[in-house]
Amino acid sequence: MRILIVEDNPADRELLVFTLQEHWKTEAKFREAHDLKAAHGYLQRGGVDAVVLDLQLPDSTGWDTFARVHKAYPNLPIIVVTHNINLDLAVTLIEQGAEDVIVKDFTNTIVLFRRILFAVKRGIRNQALWMTEPPPPMTETEPPELVEAGPDTLPSTREPGAGDRT
């Protein structure tokens, strides 16, 4: 397994690599990139099974960071790591194709490793499925607009005429 870690903070990058190497031993190889340009160089050459991606990089920030990588490599598992604790952003990232969104709180390295491991395994499984059937086209490149709806705007689950007396 080959994992690209895209993280501009050297301390966070070292901790991620150390944690993952400690648990994976020789089962995984790691590449490191400090910005999106360097990450793109590794990804173009191929041979990467998954990406651990920070959203705040010197040459790209926020949603755009994920969108650019996902658009260029739509079948590649991407695990987002971020300091941003915005739940709406995390849900949107998952809906748009991220395998997982992990808030940078690297105090429990076992949990960090397990979440990354599971996300990588899900992504590899999904890649195998995509090889057998084409994925649905991705039409959205922007995060969806969040709209709050009141309970009276929810569609009825009752069939028309069900329970009506005539």
Q: Please write the tens of the pLDDT for every residue from 54-79.
A: 999 999 998 899 999 999 999 889 99
What's the whole-number mean pLDDT along residues 142-155? 44
Range of the domain at 82: 2-143
Which segment of 12-16, 66-70, 105-109 scores lowest on mean pLDDT?
Answer: 105-109
| Residue 17 reports pLDDT greater than 70 | yes
Q: What is the CA radius of gyration of the chain?
A: 19
Q: Specify if 85 maps to a domain.
A: yes
Q: Specify if 90 maps to a domain.
A: yes
Q: Specify if 89 maps to a domain.
A: yes
Q: Specify if 97 maps to a domain.
A: yes
Q: Give the Cα separation of 15 and 12 in Å (integer).
A: 5
- Predicted TM-score (pTM) of this structure: 0.72
| Residue 80 reports pLDDT greater than 90 | yes
Specify the number of domains making up the chain: 1
The CATH number for 104's domain is: 3.40.50.2300
